[in-house]
Structure 1
């Protein structure tokens, strides 16, 4: 009985080995499994994204004085384009994006009117570095940022005076991108954006000439198409 069990085990083992050989599992060319990803990350891509931003607006009179800091928040959406180089698991690339934004602060100033300041749109030019795990790639990113800010005051009579300025700064962040098909990928990303300080001159009394500093965080989701 013991010998019969050993013989049956040997037959099952030989049968399994033969089936594995027929499937090519031992040859490295299996149609079921391959250590090579179905699609690499190299190439140009472009896509769209949308998200939410929050941060701080710091303002003070031009030339110095007391600072006022307020929270900012709002939505944003835009488009991005870039290029990746897949070096066998380590991915290097660059990406540029342009975002419409409504990240700002509104405040009622008693006897003066409604003051509003924020970022209307911004863009970044960043390097990216990631590690690919098949169709999934976590990455870090950093670069320069620029945006247009605005500040306005609407007096009790409904008259609005508005000024705008171009901010320059930097950004850093991280994210995760995953390939849905050979050409389409989805991503989730966090960015911290520091657009520095710019002067807004010519606003009415009660606000006056101010230096405004814009810093904010963004979380966003995106869709890319690789060409």
Structure 2
């Protein structure tokens, strides 16, 4: 009888212990929930570098000189003559290497439309050098003008809007047009001399011109387009890099230089004034690399249960 009572008490104790253990709080490790793959977007800030080449349009720049009335005497009799002017054109085919950096911001409105703004600054070796010849015959004899022009763009920058489209099957490829403000440092120098081969039927006469220079910042416009591509969006190390190929046409307007003669050899010859107008416009093809501040990266989410 006592044996049965002891067994019953032990069973009751075991059942009560199990019930008490079931009521105790349990502790579980955090569960890491992997988020769905991030949706690719062009939205975000970026910056990068570029290098390219600038080339001109085959422009020819016009110039001319005009003589002041000239007085002389033959056998003591004074005469006055207005020598004929002359005109020329000089090739201005700007070309050279350029490179610099850019920063910008894109916003993707929907799966196919991306708009943004970009600013860049470039150092350049864009330059041209040319010569021109003009001539005329007047009462002093036949004469020929020899003109020399140098032109360069030492640096330039742009601030442009961008409008691009993507394709649902290739969301990491952007085809865009761009345009806006351009500005740059333009250097323009010019000189001309005029030579009479038979002055008043006698010896030659060279009328020398004073050189003129322009070195200032010019403001204009630029427009073009390009393609930009994220080639390695599946690579964790390089997914924020894009590469681009871009074309721009840039026009900084024109400069006009004015000058005059400074004397003649031999002395006592006529005097002239001149002007030379030169356009500053060129095409640019460049490649670049951009680093995007990874707006489409997603971090793991920690959830506790």
TM-score by length of structure 2 reads 0.54
Shift of 1:218: 0.6
Match of 1:186 in 2: 243
* 1:164 corresponds to: 215
Aligned to 1:195: 252
> Cα RMSD over matched residues?
3.5
- After TM superposition, list the pairs within 5 Å mapping 1:79-90 onto structure 2: 79-89=101-111, 90=113
Q: Please, which of 51, 56, 61 is the counterpart of residue 59 of structure 1?
A: 61
Rate the CA distance shift 1:200–1:149 in 2: closer, same or farther, 3 A: farther
Residues 31-55 of structure 1 show CA distances to partners (whole Å, capped at 9, x for unaligned) of 8xx8943xx1111111110001111
- Unaligned stretches of 5+ residues in structure 2: 1-35, 67-86, 134-144, 193-210, 233-237, 263-271, 294-305
CA contact (8 A) 1:153 1:203 kept: no
Tell me if structure 2 keeps the 8 A contact 1:165–1:200.
Answer: no
SS in structure 2 at match of 1:135: strand
For residues 283 and 190 of structure 2, the distance between their equivalents in structure 1, rounded to whole angstroms, comes to 25
Q: Cα distance, 1:130 vs. partner?
A: 0.7
Report the equivalent of 1:148: 185
Q: For residues 213 and 70 of structure 1, what CA distance do their matches in structure 2 show?
A: 8
**Residues 198/153 of structure 1: CA separation in 2 closer, same or farther (3 Å cut):** closer
**Contact preservation (8 Å) 1:58, 1:214:** no
Q: Which has the larger radius of gyration?
A: 2
Q: CA deviation at 1:103?
A: 1.5
Q: Deviations over 1:41-83 (max 9, x none)?
A: 1111111100011114543348996543432211110111110
Helix, strand or coil at the partner of 1:182? coil
For residues 219 and 126 of structure 1, the distance between their equivalents in structure 2, rounded to whole angstroms, comes to 16
Q: Output the CA distance in 2 between the equivalents of 1:204 and 1:94.
A: 49
Q: Provide the rounded CA distance (Å) in 2 between the counterparts of 1:148 and 1:141.
A: 22
Match status 1:176 vs 2:248: no
Q: 1:48 to 1:199 in 2, by over 3 A?
A: same
2:123 maps to what in 1? 100
1:48/1:182 CA distance change after superposition, 3 Å: same
Q: Which segments of 5 or more consecutive residues in structure 1 lack a partner in the other structure?
A: 1-30
Contact 2:65 2:273 in 1 (8 A): no
Residue 152 of structure 1 contacts residue 203 of structure 1 at CA under 8 Å; is this kept in 2? no
Do the aligned partners of residues 95 and 118 (structure 1) sit closer, same or farther apart at CA in structure 2, a change above 3 Å counting? same
TM-score scaled by structure 1? 0.70
**1:163–1:203 CA contact under 8 A, matched in 2:** no
